[in-house]
Chain A
Amino acid sequence: MSERKFLVSPGPHLWGGLSVSKIMYLVVLALMFPTGAGIYFFGYRAISVIGVSVGTCLLTEYVCKKIRGQPFIMDWSAVVTGVLLGLILPPTIPLWMVAIGAMFAIGIVKEAFGGLGHNIFNPALGARAFMSASFSVPMTTWVKPMGFAADAVTSATPLSGVSNWQQFDPSAYQAMFFGNTAGSLGETSALLILIGGILLLARGIINWRIPAIYIGVVALMSLALGQDPVFHILAGGLMLGAFFMATDYVTSPLTNRGKIIFSVALGVLTVMIRQFGGMPEGVCYSILFMNAFTPLIDRFTKVRPYGLVKRVESAG
């Protein structure tokens, strides 16, 4: 026993082992489903957009960490941002714009605020908003799924017509569910997003309340406005946003009560922007908007601790 070195530390002496990098890795795995759909429908464009996005994110993170004098930890969080950013961009976007967007996501939205855990906004969505403002035409040019074929035919997304939306052809549901429709790279296939989302739910990585309530409120709101709820659920970035971006730990509230308020507000905002706003899609801005409210929500939704009901006089 004498040569052996013993360590002393306070309890607990066990750790569950589900680390940040493991969680981020699982999110990347789950994202491979919508990524697969993106590649299937948009071919080489999808591979190059996502590739450039992930590569630039990792590089930017590495450079930022060096500048800040911190160690670069490969915790997969930059990959999550990179893949997500790729998935919410139009397939035909020029790659240099993708690189600038990715730099903005990591350099400004994430690292400038202090890195993972300290960012106020979801980095991928922040970058998308930045790119929409900077490159408005390429950011709103959509093409029909062309697979690995060379030609891309521009087309409107299903949501483009929603502001003056009259009646939607229900036969399009199938295309929207499987993803065979114009739209951002990874947002078109509700089915594969759902598979990825269920994987995360099953592993306890994301809290069911956010996607369930967000999507539920969108359905209710669109019903209340006399619109087709199925269409609203399948269209645009709602599915991807609800499962993969609104659930972002850092930028969503801590407590279950906070999460409920957060996701109800998300649902209301999304439908409001889609219906009354100047833009066809509201998921990105709703989530960014509510990200900003997260600290406030946290402040007012603290949990009631065990035993608060009555205080005991004799208590020390």
Chain B
Amino acid sequence: MNILGIRLKKKGTPYGVKVPENKLTAKKQIERAPLPEKAILPLHQNIGAPCEAVVKRGDKVLTGQKIGDSDKFVNAPVHATISGEISGTTMVVNPPTAQLVEALIVTSDGADEWIKLEPPKNPEDLSVKEILARVRDAGLVGLGGAAFPTHVKLSPPKDTKIDTVILNGCECEPYITSDHRVMLEYGEKVLSGLNIINKVLSPDNIYIAIEDNKEDAIDYMEELIVAMGLKDNFKIVPLKSKYPMGAEKILTKMILGREVPIGGLPLHVGVVVHNVSTAKAIHDAVVEGKPFVERVVTVTGAVKNPKNLLVRFGTPLRSLIDYCGGIEGNANEVVLGGPMMGFSQFDFDFPVIKGTNGIIIKESIPINEQDCISCSKCIEVCPMYLMPTLLARYAKAGRYDECKGAYIDDCFECGACAYACPANIPLVQYIKVAKRELAKRAVKK
């Protein structure tokens, strides 16, 4: 089916790896997870500045009430996700940064009483400034995993012209289906959110990128574009399923042939990439005036009943795993996010936070490192055209300056190299160590 040329030709890449998809939950409708009795809400869930608590112990809070905020620009406020009482604080380890972060604990009163929502009378009439203020106030961050504050991404520097917006519905990580289900079940909200992005950035072209393992989502988005009468600069780009197709820099290259400069962002080449779930959240924030308190999380792998769950932030992993029937078989690893770039978690009282798109329970893979046999598989699969084996070799020898010379900054740690490595060398780990050492040196200077 191809209505009015909305769907462009399918694109593919020789780079990256074919990973078994294991999308166990692709056909499972989103279910609402039970509200937590205690919500643990870290005050730092985004890239950028942390929040300060704006409530204190013993305060009564309503669902959607702001409990943490900051006057820094690169920050997103945190809201209470259930109604109840602030019963204390705790420290949790934020998996991506491995840093200890303060978290507020809200003990539920069981009522889930919301603050009064203030949707705009006529969303069409909102100015760009008002839209951005609403997005920020709702505490929105990018939901693809990086958790970069959305209002910042929507405010490019004045001298930067954004000519293209890419809506990312690739979901190239195995197992996870949250974006897929969001497109199917909240398609109109996704496109409404995209339309708001369109209004803010007024790009020439808008591409909705979806991998071809989600044919139903491609069809549905196409129908909706017609049904909603969106402008004819909305196009759908089907992409051949391959990991890491959904990485921003890969999409920019695939769809536009533009390479983001090393250390730069897509906006440096006139592109902004937003995730489909983020677009849906933008709709909720701007049109419905709803703060960002829940998201769709895929709980899958070795659980009895894998599910797509609509989860309030702060819900501990334990309760979600139990809700899905508990862990089965010999699984001994719990990964937050996708199995390629996600972080394994040891503490099941850790909560779902804004960046959590999946909880995967699986058997861990043994790492049995051998010497490099120079097979060059890592070079063949690297989507950034790097030479991972050299980076690892330098890192192992502590020759970090040479890592820098081999463009280690270009690596976004997708893990395709380590997936393909026959010698089972933990290439990403070595690269991470080298990056950390280089960052330390940079601070010293």
Asked if A and B bind, the verdict is yes
Which residues in A have some Cβ–Cβ distance to B below 8 Å? 1, 4-16, 18-20, 22-23, 73, 75, 114-118, 207, 249-250, 252, 254-255, 302-312, 314-316
A114 to chain B minimum Cβ distance, whole angstroms, is 8
Contacting pair B318 A307 (CB below 8 A)? no
Q: What secondary structure prevails in chain A residues at the interface with B?
A: loop
Q: Tell which of B372, B373, B383, B419 touches A12, judged by Cβ atoms closer than 8 Å.
A: B419
Query: Which B residues between 361 and 399 are near A, CB-CB below 8 angstroms?
Result: 362, 364-365, 367, 370-377, 379, 383-387, 389-390
Contacting pair B376 A249 (CB below 8 A)? yes
The verdict on B47 contacting chain A, using a C-beta distance below 8 Å, is no
B361 and chain A: residue at smallest CB distance: A6
- Nearest first, the 9 A-B pairs at minimum CB distance are A12-B415, A315-B263, A117-B371, A312-B264, A249-B375, A306-B384, A305-B407, A7-B364, A13-B339
Known: A7-B332, A15-B418, A20-B370. A308 touches B344 (CB 8 A): no
Compute how far the CA of A83 lies from the CA of B89 in the bound complex, rounded to whole angstroms: 67
The verdict on B57 contacting chain A, using a C-beta distance below 8 Å, is no
Q: Tell which of A6, A10, A116 touches B428, judged by Cβ atoms closer than 8 Å.
A: A10
A66 to chain B minimum Cβ distance, whole angstroms, is 18
Contacting pair A302 B263 (CB below 8 A)? no
Q: Which residues of A contact B385 (CB under 8 A)?
A: 303-306
Q: Which residues of A contact B370 (CB under 8 A)?
A: 20, 73, 75, 116-117
Chain B interface extent, by class:
35 or more
Contacting pair A1 B326 (CB below 8 A)? yes
Q: Which residues of A contact B421 (CB under 8 A)?
A: 16
Contacting pair B268 A312 (CB below 8 A)? yes
Contacting pair A255 B387 (CB below 8 A)? yes
Q: Which residues of B contact A23 (CB under 8 A)?
A: 375, 422
25 residue pairs of the A-B complex, CB under 8 angstroms, read A1-B321, A6-B344, A10-B343, A10-B344, A10-B428, A11-B341, A11-B428, A13-B333, A13-B344, A14-B339, A14-B340, A14-B365, A16-B420, A19-B423, A20-B373, A20-B422, A23-B375, A254-B379, A254-B390, A302-B387, A306-B383, A307-B249, A308-B407, A309-B261, A315-B262
Contacting pair A312 B261 (CB below 8 A)? yes
Query: Which B residues between 242 and 277 are near A, CB-CB below 8 angstroms?
Result: 249, 253, 259-264, 268
Contacting pair A250 B373 (CB below 8 A)? yes
Contacting pair A15 B365 (CB below 8 A)? yes
Contacting pair B376 A6 (CB below 8 A)? no
Contacting pair B371 A115 (CB below 8 A)? yes
Contacting pair A118 B371 (CB below 8 A)? yes
B409 to chain A minimum Cβ distance, whole angstroms, is 8
Q: Tell which of A4, A22, A255 touches B379, judged by Cβ atoms closer than 8 Å.
A: A255
Contacting pair A1 B327 (CB below 8 A)? yes
B345 and chain A: residue at smallest CB distance: A8
Compute how far the CA of A5 lies from the CA of B348 in the bound complex, rounded to whole angstroms: 12
Q: Which residues of B contact A303 (CB under 8 A)?
A: 379, 385-387
Q: Which residues of B contact A11 (CB under 8 A)?
A: 335, 339-344, 413, 415, 428
Query: Which B residues between 221 and 254 are near A, CB-CB below 8 angstroms?
Result: 249, 253
Known: A307-B259, A312-B264. A13 touches B384 (CB 8 A): no
B231 to chain A minimum Cβ distance, whole angstroms, is 31
A285 to chain B minimum Cβ distance, whole angstroms, is 22
Q: Which residues of B contact A309 (CB under 8 A)?
A: 259, 261
Contacting pair B262 A16 (CB below 8 A)? no
Q: Tell which of B263, B406, B407, B422 touches A312, judged by Cβ atoms closer than 8 Å.
A: B263
Compute how far the CA of A9 lies from the CA of B95 in the bound complex, rounded to whole angstroms: 11
Q: Tell which of B344, B373, B426 touches A116, judged by Cβ atoms closer than 8 Å.
A: B373
Q: Which residues of A contact B426 (CB under 8 A)?
A: 10
Compute how far the CA of A4 lies from the CA of B375 in the bound complex, rounded to whole angstroms: 37
B364 and chain A: residue at smallest CB distance: A7
A255 to chain B minimum Cβ distance, whole angstroms, is 6
The verdict on B41 contacting chain A, using a C-beta distance below 8 Å, is no
What 0/1 readout, one digit per residue, does chain B (51-75) give for beta carbons within 8 Å of chain A?
0000000000000000000000000
Contacting pair A15 B424 (CB below 8 A)? yes
Contacting pair B422 A19 (CB below 8 A)? yes
A264 to chain B minimum Cβ distance, whole angstroms, is 18
B413 and chain A: residue at smallest CB distance: A11
A205 and chain B: residue at smallest CB distance: B375
Contacting pair A307 B410 (CB below 8 A)? yes
Q: Tell which of B17, B376, B432 touches A207, judged by Cβ atoms closer than 8 Å.
A: B376
Q: Which residues of A contact B291 (CB under 8 A)?
A: none
Compute how far the CA of A314 lies from the CA of B373 in the bound complex, rounded to whole angstroms: 38
The verdict on B176 contacting chain A, using a C-beta distance below 8 Å, is no
Q: Which residues of B contact A250 (CB under 8 A)?
A: 373-374
The verdict on B429 contacting chain A, using a C-beta distance below 8 Å, is yes
Compute how far the CA of A15 lies from the CA of B368 in the bound complex, rounded to whole angstroms: 11
Q: Which residues of A contact B152 (CB under 8 A)?
A: none
